Amino acid sequence: MVDTLVIPLLKILIVLNATLVAVTYMVLLERKVIAWAQSRLGPMRVGPYGVLQPVADAVKLMIKEDITPVRADRWVFTAAPIISMVPALIVYAVIPFGPTVSLFGRQVSLYITDINVGLLYIVSVASVGVYGIILAGYASNSKFPLLASLRASAQLISYEVAVTLTLVSVILMSGSLSMVSIVRAQEASGMWYMFVQPLAFGIFVIGSLAETNRAPFDMPEAEQELTGGFHTEYSGMRFALFFLAEYANMIVVSSVATTLFLGGWLPPFPNVPLFDFLDIIPSWTWFLIKSFLFLYFFIWIRATLPRYRYDQLMRLGWKMLIPLAIANLVITGIVKVLLA
Amino acid sequence: MGEAIAFYFIAACILGFAVLVISTKDTVHSVLFLVVDFLFVAALYVLLGAQFIAAIQILVYAGGIVVLYLFVVMLVNLKRPPEAHADPHRLTKVGLGMSAAVLLELGAIALYSSQLPATPVAPGAPMPVTGNTEQVGWLLYTSYLIPFEVASMLLLVAMIGAIVLAKREL
């Protein structure tokens, strides 16, 4: 009873709440880091150094008027924010934050579940998330959201191909689709896959920037061309759901990159005896540190690079990243067969 | 018991959403019901213990093919009522006849199979691999190698055909 019901429910509760808190504070972190990059202070008024800004934002968004355009497709308009938020949250079911540890005299695994098709589950759930954007643009019955949603879905579908191809080369290396087994395989080989598969890692990082609609690929939200992007007609909490889904997706791709390429919960140099002193730091701390560095990198990129033009974006995706990913996959396969 | 309840619930949802797909007036809503239908089919696969097929079902059908359907439906304006609505009685008789034929056929199959003695399925050769994905891969590359290769060749031909049709002057 306790093992089959209470502990999984507790884990789900903790992971969901931690994610939502992390998402709201990601927004603050982004504003702060960009402010520092531009020699500003960022939010300073609400709480010391603005730490209560997310709370103020949440209250403001909740009490705002919720507007549905008259000519909108009412049902789809309501469903679209939910469709973008849900896939971003249920992906956390297979993210391993750490191995099995003993907690209060009980063996507790630091992941919600470890299914045999973990990585495939993440890819397929993420592929459903694109409906949120398409439907938001369609249901608004307005020009700019429709254009933005067409751009967004074309961009997502293009970069999904390259990203999925890099995942296949990781699967070839580890011989498994389960997220826990992929980390275990990195532990056994004594090397993070970032060093074995540098090209795949690079393509994954660029592709995940594009898949989360982040700068320099934030084409769907290009304010100068499209007013606000696919969520122009949304207000109040529904707009907030799109906003939160974007940040939740950022945390998802950071966690996936950490698990696949940065050794998940493993410390650096997992098999070198010289670095054994690093084991005193708990495993989940390593996971959080690595994910945080990745998120910081996302914000840093946004503060540094200007936006791509749309045709350049498509050219980069189809003519550079996908052929490189296929070449990487073929070379990985050949090397794997030669070494076996 | 729990499994039976889950099966009947999922099966009812699949049939219900399938009816909604063909009975909804708005084409975009119809495509959305199709997505929900595919998700429930994936749930049925999970119930059967085929997680790999379930994930592929969502990735390929719900996340890939239907997105393209949605594009076509959104960009081609179908708000105008179709011509068939002008004479709703014209095709009713044909439809009635065809569905009666299908119903008769299904009934005949049910009647015929209920009179056959139940034959136990012969257990296949034990597989040297464990795990859902590994077993699917093992079967595809041993017992079903030729159908698998034929299917991949068919897909390649279809892809080249699509390119040739879309780009006449290459």
Give the lowest-confidence range in B14-18, B31-35, B87-91, B162-166.
B87-91
Q: Spell out the residues 6+ positions from residue A241 whose beta carbon is closer than 8 angstroms to its own.
A: A81, A82, A84, A85
Per CB-CB distance under 8 Å, the chain A contacts of B64 are 127
Interface residue A127 vs chain B (CB under 8 A)? yes
Query: What pLDDT sits at residue A186?
Result: 85
Confidence band, pLDDT 50/70/90 cuts, at residue B17 = very high
The pLDDT of residue B85 is above 60: no
Distance from CA of A261 to the nearest CA of B (A): 22
Nearest to A308 by CA among A213, A166, A204: A213
Task: For residue range B110-123, list pLDDT tens digits in order.
Answer: 888 888 777 666 66
Query: What pLDDT sits at residue B125?
Result: 66
Interface residue B159 vs chain A (CB under 8 A)? no
Query: What pLDDT sits at residue B24?
Result: 86
For every residue of chain B, DSSP letters joined together read -HHHHHHHHHHHHHHHHHHHHHH-SSHHHHHHHHHHHHHHHHHHHHHTT-HHHHHHIIIIIIIIIHHHHHHHHHHS---SPPGGGGSTTTTHHHHHHHHHHHHHHHHHHHHHHHHSPPPPPPPPPPPS--SHHHHHHHHHHTTTHHHHHHHHHHHHHHHHHHHHHH-S--
Record: contact B32-A76, CB cut-off 8 A: yes
Average pLDDT, rounded, for chain A: 85
Dist CA A103 CA A44 (whole Å)? 39
More reliable by pLDDT, B160 or A278: B160
The pLDDT of residue B82 is above 60: no
Task: For residue range A70-86, list pLDDT tens digits in order.
Answer: 887 888 888 888 888 89
Average pLDDT, rounded, for chain B: 84
Task: For residue range A162-220, list pLDDT tens digits in order.
Answer: 898 999 998 888 888 888 888 888 888 878 888 888 899 999 999 888 888 787 887 76
Record: contact A124-B71, CB cut-off 8 A: no
Give the lowest-confidence range in A264-278, A293-307, B28-42.
A264-278
Task: For residue range B120-145, list pLDDT tens digits in order.
Answer: 666 666 677 777 788 888 888 888 89
Distance from CA of B35 to the nearest CA of A (A): 9
Query: What pLDDT sits at residue A266?
Result: 82
The pLDDT of residue B103 is above 80: yes
Query: What pLDDT sits at residue A45?
Result: 84
Interface residue B21 vs chain A (CB under 8 A)? no
The pLDDT of residue B9 is above 90: yes
Contact B24, B33 (CB under 8 A): yes
**Around A66, how many Cα atoms within 13 Å sit in the side-chain half-sphere?**
11
Contact A156, A317 (CB under 8 A): no
Farthest CA pair distance, chain A: 67
Residue B20 to residues B17, B24, B26, B77: CA-CA distances in angstroms? 5, 6, 11, 21
Query: What pLDDT sits at residue B88?
Result: 61
Query: What pLDDT sits at residue B123?
Result: 64
Nearest to A218 by CA among A159, A270, A258: A159
ipTM score assigned to the predicted complex? 0.82
Per CB-CB distance under 8 Å, the chain B contacts of A120 are 52, 55-56, 59, 133
pTM, full prediction: 0.84
The size of chain A, in residues, is 340
Record: contact A135-B32, CB cut-off 8 A: yes
Task: For residue range A99-117, list pLDDT tens digits in order.
Answer: 877 777 777 787 888 888 8
Record: contact A130-B63, CB cut-off 8 A: yes
- Across B70-84, average pLDDT: 68
For every residue of A75-125, DSSP letters joined together read HHHHHHHHHHHHHHHHGGGG---S-EEEETTEEEESSS---TTHHHHHHHH
Q: Is A71 helix (H, G, I), strand (E, B) or coil?
A: coil
Query: What pLDDT sits at residue A328?
Result: 92
Q: Which A residues in the span 83-112 are in contact with B, Cβ-Cβ below 8 Å? A: none
Backbone angles phi, psi at B85, to 5 degrees: -70, -15
Record: contact B28-A73, CB cut-off 8 A: yes
Per CB-CB distance under 8 Å, the chain A contacts of B67 are 130-131, 134, 153, 157
Nearest to B46 by CA among B58, B34, B63: B58
Give the lowest-confidence range in A264-268, A313-317, B142-146.
A264-268
Tokens of B4: 């039976």
Query: What pLDDT sits at residue B138?
Result: 86
- Across A8-37, average pLDDT: 88
Query: What pLDDT sits at residue B90?
Result: 67
Record: contact A134-B51, CB cut-off 8 A: no
Beta bridge partners of A101: A108
- Count Cβ–Cβ pairs < 8 Å, chain A vs chain B: 65
Closest residue, chain B, to A138 (C-alpha) = B74
Tokens of A160: 């999904």
B64, B70, B133 member nearest A117 (Cβ): B133
B39, B67, B132 member nearest A157 (Cβ): B67
Nearest to A120 by CA among B45, B79, B37: B45
User: For the CA atoms of A209, A212, A217, A218, what is the dihedral angle to 10 degrees?
Assistant: -150
Q: Is A237 helix (H, G, I), strand (E, B) or coil?
A: helix
Beta bridge partners of A103: A106
Q: Angle, nearest 10°, between helix axes A53-63 and A236-261?
A: 140
Backbone angles phi, psi at A101, to 5 degrees: -125, 160
Task: For residue range A220-248, list pLDDT tens digits in order.
Answer: 676 666 767 777 778 878 888 888 888 88
User: For the CA atoms of A197, A199, A202, A208, what is the dihedral angle to 10 degrees?
Assistant: -80
Q: Angle, nearest 10°, between helix axes A236-261 and A143-174?
A: 20
Dist CA B127 CA B137 (whole Å)? 11
B55, B70, B74 member nearest A120 (Cβ): B55
Confidence band, pLDDT 50/70/90 cuts, at residue A44 = confident
Interface residue B18 vs chain A (CB under 8 A)? no
